[in-house]
Structure 1
Amino acid sequence: MADKLSNVDPKMLELLVCPLTKGRLTFDRQANELISEKARLAYPVRDGIPIMLVSEARTIED
């Protein structure tokens, strides 16, 4: 499952920001998610496509 991101252009990933905070995202390879620390949200990556919708994001609990 971690290899699903390999279909996404790494340059595009550098340009992606959190749609809520416009902050940087980090990739959690194990969970296959893009993490916004500021918003405390995890955006899923499905079939190599980052789903950048707040409504699809998982809230990160402490």
Structure 2
Amino acid sequence: MNPDDPLLRILACPLDKGPLTLPAGESVLYNPRLQLSYPIVDGIPQLLPSSGSKVCADDHERFVRAAAG
């Protein structure tokens, strides 16, 4: 999956139904509002609520910077 993938525009967080970002160089989709990351395994986003992992403040900052470009 890449940042220009049209699928990224329709994927949503299973918890708050908001948009997800794809931080550059990462294999996760990220919800900055809830600070949850969802893994991408073999190109398939794992978007079950139980798949989300809370990230620490340092990773949050890194993911936000990477998603911004």
| Counterparts of 2:10 and 2:55, CA distance in 1 | 22
For structure 1, list consecutive stretches of 5 or more residues without a partner in the other structure.
none
Identity %, equivalent residues? 35
Deviation at 1:38, TM superposition (A): 1.1
For structure 2, list consecutive stretches of 5 or more residues without a partner in the other structure.
58-69
TM superposition outliers: structure 1 runs of 4+ over 3 Å: none
Partner of 1:29: 24
- Length-normalised TM-score, structure 1: 0.76
User: What number of residue pairs does the alignment pair up?
Assistant: 56
Q: What is the alpha-carbon root mean square deviation over aligned residues?
A: 1.7
- Length-normalised TM-score, structure 2: 0.70
Q: Structure 1 or 2: larger strand share?
A: 1
